[in-house]
Structure 1
Amino acid sequence: MRADAARGRIRLSSSPRLEQGAKTLSEIAGRLAQIREAFERPTLALLSRGKRGPVVLAVLMSSFSQNQDPVPAEQLHAQVRTYLAELAAAGEEVPDDPPRVLCRRWVKEQWLVLAANEDHVEEYALTSHAQEAIDYVKRLSGDRSMFSQSRIKTILDAARRCANDANPDREERVRRLDDEIRRLTAERDRICGGGEIEIAPDDRVLEEYLNLRDLIAQLPADFLRVSEAVKAIQRVIVGEFRAEGRRAGHVLDLYLERSSDLMTESAEGRAFVGAVELLRDDRLLKELRDDLKTILEHPFAVAVTPAEARDFRNTVIAVRHGMGIVQEQRRRLSATLRAHIARHDALRERELDEALRRCRSELASWMEKSGPRSRAGIALDLPSLEVAHLRQRFYNPGDHIPPLPLADTQAEAADPTSLEELRRQGGPDLGALRELVTAAVQELEAVSAGEVFASAEAGLRRPVEVFGLLHIAAATGAKELRDSGEADLFEAVRPDGTRRSFTTTRTVFTHEQLGALEAHDLDRQS
């Protein structure tokens, strides 16, 4: 009995250890499965491709602009060929496949998406997975927001707002509001009473700037994920229409339900709705622009590159561009639904429709398995043509006599156009106009666009230079005197010597525009 009791005690004491070991094995197996699933996603697959990963990322970052605009297929193939040749010349190991094959492979790996635009021209665009990989590389290669007072303050503010929204206690909310009012009132009274205004040191503003920049950098991938979700809804809706398993009304209800869930249930959809609300509030937009401008006017901004300052200043433009991508995808989905509903005819021959659907389904399956120049063995089984008589025509040697040789008109050819003549017919010289504005403002402190134009030489007073000068005024935020009733007169001289007068609202350049001229790359914006 003692032995049995001892064995019982041993069994009882060892059971928790076995359970703990099983639990540990279960946890590590679950974590391993989770990690493997993460590595199978396109983003980590792109970052973990060994030597080829940096090459692919470099090509994608160089081929697509900051706004992720689609690139025509042929143009991207040419760019990939050029970039790979440059990397090979620099001694880098690059793929040997043709650019078209590489791009199609990247589409299959979900780094690119290939679609036809409204003009039926095929275009490539980055997916959210590729954008996430690019953003991750940019964050690692640049200055990053570290553990700092700014990061902790952001967490505390977010936690306070979340707790305030989640707390249903009326008295607690009133108490929080009273505390905030007392704190702000005390700070206002201190400043109004002549208290010292503390200016944050450079390192603290830099920390807050990096923290804010990290948040802004996440927006493009969020917008791309919303756009891809809309595309997925489009594929499902089109499939429902083609299958004709439901009525058109049921399919539209499905579309409305999924669109609503996308905008309310997903984090990306809520971010998109927030961006729409931001762009609708002009006052909030102005405050955001003013805040970004104030941040870049702090002394720490001397360490920020012009490109980083331009991207930071154009945050509103980036948000507007991302929202435009999603809205364009939703517009295409609405057009697809409208086209299907307008073309739907219940009296069509259902047997023919079923045959065409099977044909499309088989063709889609065959395209997934086939390669370039593959052939499909299709038996048409068409009946032979029964014709009683065919008209015949005898051979005529005159039909094969070659035409007379062309006359030599080389002596009558016009003289080639010189480079200077082409330049006179071209667009505005923004570089020369910018130097002209800079010199005039430094000399007179405040000068109108008409006065700047009048001081230019004849070669820089073409009609097209008027548009170039107005472009510089708009880009640098020159002041327009609309209420004064004054106007700028532009006496333009065409390349043939004829003159033309133009009148615009009086626009004044000051020293404020000199800083904007240095921060903006106007030649690139044109």
Structure 2
Amino acid sequence: MITRVEGAYLGAVRAFQNPMLDLLHKRHAPLVVSLLSLVFTAERPSVPVADAHTEVADALDQLRAAGHGDDLPVGSARDLCRQWADVGWLVRHVLDDDVEVYRLSAHAVGALEVAGRAGGTRARVSQSRVRTVLEAVERLALDADPDVMVRIARLDTEVRRLQEEIARLERTGQVDEVDDEELLEEAETVVHLVRELPADFARVAESIKAMQRDVVTALRQDARPTGEVLREYLRRGEQVMDATPEGRAFGGALRLLGDPQRLDELAVQLETVLRHRFAARLPSAQRADLRELVRRIEQGLDQVFAAQREASYVITAQVRNHDPLRDRQVDDLLRDVMTGMQAWLPGSRRGQAVAPLRRLPVADVEHLRRTPDDLRPPQAPDALPDWDDDGDVSDTDARAWGGPRYADLDAHLVEFAAGSPQVDLAAAFGAAPVELRRPVDLLGLLEIAHQRGMTESDEVVFVDAVRPDGTRRRFAFGAATTRTREEGA
């Protein structure tokens, strides 16, 4: 029977086997934490592998020049990054354009958050934190209690309290101001919760990827009929978000965060907070955390959705394109090769000759693909036209083929709106003079609309753009309207 002390010890051992605590326990943990926090930021959650190696190498050179060479590990920046990927602090990922990037794992994000909290302002037992706990417990008890009468009584109490507050405001016309110290405590509580969001989103994405690997491994080892395998794994691929506890929890949070109107309201509320006089007393890092909250939520949602799409695609492609029997044969062959290498290497000597394979096994091929097509083109391509590299380009031609004319587009929007606060983009572009109807001006018009708040619909509209040489190009996009002036302008 395990004693209480032994159970506590074994639990601590398991906890320190977590890569997050392992990162903080290593000898070079300060270096790892500092480099990862410099290379990976909220604005750049993924970094190309080559860029990461270069930035880590530059940072190591600067530390050595500053006299910290004795505290640095041995090895190149590439070796260090590979070590961090092997122990689970970095995740290698290939983007759609075949660019390989590094991302912080959920363990690394959690370790950076722990280090940041330990080195920054420590959380205090305050009225705000206690009220947060009490409100959470009250909500938990309300959701867990199935008694209808109890819930009605609680709602009646809340309604009476709100009605009394409304009556007081109507009677006095004054809002009780909250002390700046209490506002600071509430802001610190919010910042503490905000800094945990990136690690939460990363854990959801990694749980989906782990489920994807488990499904693909199980599929390769499955010996059931193909039809049964197809039905089960295609269903799991479609319901990938519900296959993990983190995914199900994220689904509940998504019902709160997935509403664009709620995120817009959150952005307005944060602006109200940051304009208050107490916000000037917040450290710059905390103000930045509050200002970037909405964007961090959007980045976290994109990260989870990308992992979900990738898992669904990989599972579906595995089912459709891979034969379980053939995959098991390849696995067995590779396993035999590794076993043979392990048996041969201990008794071999450096430079020892290896008997070559004189003859390859005969492949069992039922038929070869044949096609009558000839890959060679019927005739050579046309010669490239001559280009006068020494010819002078006038200022008029350079401007005609240049970028968007933002000022002219802005003036045209105001003139076309004729005092109306909203303007239809497709109609405005179609009514513009020919010199403002270039393809690049359409992009500039959409950029202006996006900056001022663009309202889109499901309708598809078409516009004709005219290049400076007179050629025309038709474009299609979702019908949208925008404000003629920015707010406050």
TM-score, shorter chain, exceeding 0.5 = yes
Matches within 5 A, 1:62-461: 62-67=38-43, 69-92=45-68, 93-248=71-226, 249-250=228-229, 253=232, 263=242, 266=245, 268-304=246-282, 308-344=286-322, 354-361=328-335, 381-383=357-359
Distance 1:120 1:157, change over 3 A: same
Offset at residue 173 of structure 1 (A): 1.1
SS in 1 for 2:92: strand
Offset at residue 74 of structure 1 (A): 1.5
1:43 aligns with 2:20: yes
Instruction: Give the Cα separation in 2 of the matches to 1:191 and 1:285.
Output: 28
SS in 1 for 2:485: strand
Contact map agreement 1:43 1:130 (CA 8 A) in 2: yes
Unaligned 5+ residue runs, structure 2?
361-388, 392-397, 408-438, 457-467, 469-480
Which amino acid in 1 is paired with 2:190? L
Offset at residue 60 of structure 1 (A): 0.7
Contact map agreement 2:236 2:243 (CA 8 A) in 1: no
Distance 1:209 1:27, change over 3 A: same
Q: Deviations over 1:397-427 (max 9, x none)?
A: xxxxxxxxxxxxxxxx989xxxxxx9xx998
Which amino acid in 1 is paired with 2:113? D
Contact map agreement 2:128 2:182 (CA 8 A) in 1: yes
Offset at residue 187 of structure 1 (A): 0.5
Aligned alpha-carbon RMSD (Å): 4.6
SS in 1 for 2:161: helix
Contact map agreement 2:201 2:301 (CA 8 A) in 1: yes
Distance 1:229 1:178, change over 3 A: same
Instruction: Give the Cα separation in 1 of the matches to 2:340 and 2:92.
Output: 19
Instruction: Give the Cα separation in 2 of the matches to 1:358 and 1:89.
Output: 52
Which amino acid in 2 is paired with 1:302? A
Instruction: Give the Cα separation in 2 of the matches to 1:286 and 1:366.
Output: 62
Contact map agreement 2:453 2:482 (CA 8 A) in 1: no
Q: Which residue of 1 aligns with 2:6?
A: 29
Offset at residue 429 of structure 1 (A): 13
Residues matched between the structures, number: 403
Contact map agreement 1:480 1:505 (CA 8 A) in 2: yes
Which structure would you say has the larger Rg? 1
Distance 1:40 1:365, change over 3 A: farther
Q: Deviations over 1:207-256 (max 9, x none)?
A: 11111111121111111111111111111111122224234534753675
Which amino acid in 2 is paired with 1:158? A
SS in 2 for 1:124: strand
Contact map agreement 1:272 1:323 (CA 8 A) in 2: no
Q: TM-score, normalised by structure 1?
A: 0.64
Instruction: Give the Cα separation in 1 of the matches to 2:75 and 2:64.
Output: 13
Instruction: Give the Cα separation in 1 of the matches to 2:143 and 2:351.
Output: 63
**% identical equivalent positions:** 34
Distance 1:239 1:193, change over 3 A: same
Q: TM-score, normalised by structure 2?
A: 0.69
Which amino acid in 1 is paired with 2:266? L
Instruction: Give the Cα separation in 1 of the matches to 2:286 and 2:301.
Output: 22
Contact map agreement 2:240 2:311 (CA 8 A) in 1: no
Q: Deviations over 1:169-209 (max 9, x none)?
A: 22111111111111111011110112531111111111111
SS in 1 for 2:298: helix
Q: Which residue of 2 aligns with 1:403?
A: none
Unaligned 5+ residue runs, structure 1?
1-21, 385-412, 416-421, 434-462, 483-493, 495-503, 514-526
Instruction: Give the Cα separation in 1 of the matches to 2:351 and 2:234.
Output: 38
Instruction: Give the Cα separation in 2 of the matches to 1:366 and 1:56.
Output: 39
